[in-house]
Amino acid sequence: MITYREAKECDYHRINEFHNKLDKPNRSFDLFEWEFLNCPFGKAIYVIAEDGDKIVGTNCVIPIELRDNTGKKVLSGKSEDTLVDPDYRGQNIFNGIYQFLFQCCKEKDIEIIWGFTPAIKPFQKLGFETPFYQYQGLFVLQTWKSFNILSKLNPKNKIMDLLKILSLSIISKFISCFSLFFKRKSIRHKASYKLDVEGINALTTRTKNGFTLSINRNEDYLKWRISENPYYQKIVPFSFYDSSKNLIGYLIFNVTSDGIAYLIDSCFDESIQKKECSEMINFCLHQLNKDKEIVMIRTWFFETTPWNKNEIEIFKASGLFYLKKSVNSIVWKNIGPFNYEASDFQLTRITSQGIN
């Protein structure tokens, strides 16, 4: 008989072993602890399905505090670690875990559950919305190395797939070369190479250009999500200031050992013109290009709010190749008294867990 319950501290090692056996063979307990136990907004609400004393399914939500456009705090839960033992599939365990999880979340005042997944049908059956998809942005600096990295993302790629990836790498390289050669290298605002935690929180609080919900990027959250992220190897931040020393734009990159610079997060003051935003982006691209170990720059795009659509146009104008091919969809479900719209949520790569 399958039973469902909220995990206890004594279960955590068993849970991680379950995932290492079936899904994530290299996840140490330190990585598990950082992701699910150390979030400043609270430990993950973790639900397990058991057959006797055997774990056969898991899912959790990580409490993530959002802010609306009035400054009100909204507690959400980011869905993670969904897994059912293949030997137990077809027994409605996914549904059973979530029904139990919904109740746990309501008891802990979580109002929204959201996350990213390629498997949308099981979530739709549970009443989740799947309103939009995640797309890719690419800026190739080294063509052949980029092709090698991208072609290995899917081991099932056939010859035609590989040719498409090679074409993508060549086209993106051509666009990036054009951008680096012709676009401005200088900017009219002061640039700094630091992670301005106080400035980021102030900027994202006052900037609500087309979205009304955003992650509360306070000091503790940014420390956990970026500075203490064990999956990150080299953080490269850029901060831009006006004449009054107010932060008006920032971009934060994580450079991996294989030479990919992932854009973790970015935001620009809504009073800044598109041309100025593009200058800031181009400045970052020129600086990253100086690092010969960086092979390509990657980011996420979403066609959701006016803010996100505007962001796409700015990055495209700065030389990033916009690849409208998606792997994941966002899933979204209100479980509290208010009906929050997924299209009002500011989406950047910081909404992921930073596991590349």
Beta strand ranges found along the chain (DSSP E): 2-6, 45-51, 54-68, 73-84, 112-117, 135-140, 190-192, 213-215, 235-241, 247-255, 260-268, 296-301, 321-323, 329-334
Q: Is 11 helix (H, G, I), strand (E, B) or coil?
A: helix
Specify the pLDDT at position 45.
97
Specify the pLDDT at position 207.
66
Specify the pLDDT at position 356.
59
Q: Is the pLDDT of residue 108 over 90?
A: yes
Specify the pLDDT at position 307.
76
**Amino acid (one-letter) located at 292:** K
* Exposure on the CB side of residue 119, measured as CA atoms within 13 A: 7
Rg (CA), the chain: 21
Q: What is the rounded distance in angstroms from the CA atom of residue 37 to the CA atom of residue 183?
A: 44
Specify the pLDDT at position 325.
78
Nearest one of 5, 102, 105 to 51, comparing CA atoms: 5
- Of the pLDDT bands very low, low, confident and very high (cuts 50, 70, 90), residue 239 is very high
pLDDT digits (tens, 9 = 90+) for 289-329: 999 999 999 998 888 777 788 889 999 999 999 988 777 89
Average pLDDT over every residue of 231-256: 94
CA angle 56, 77, 39 (to 5 degrees): 90
Specify the pLDDT at position 352.
86
pLDDT digits (tens, 9 = 90+) for 13-36: 999 999 999 987 789 999 999 999
Specify the pLDDT at position 326.
76
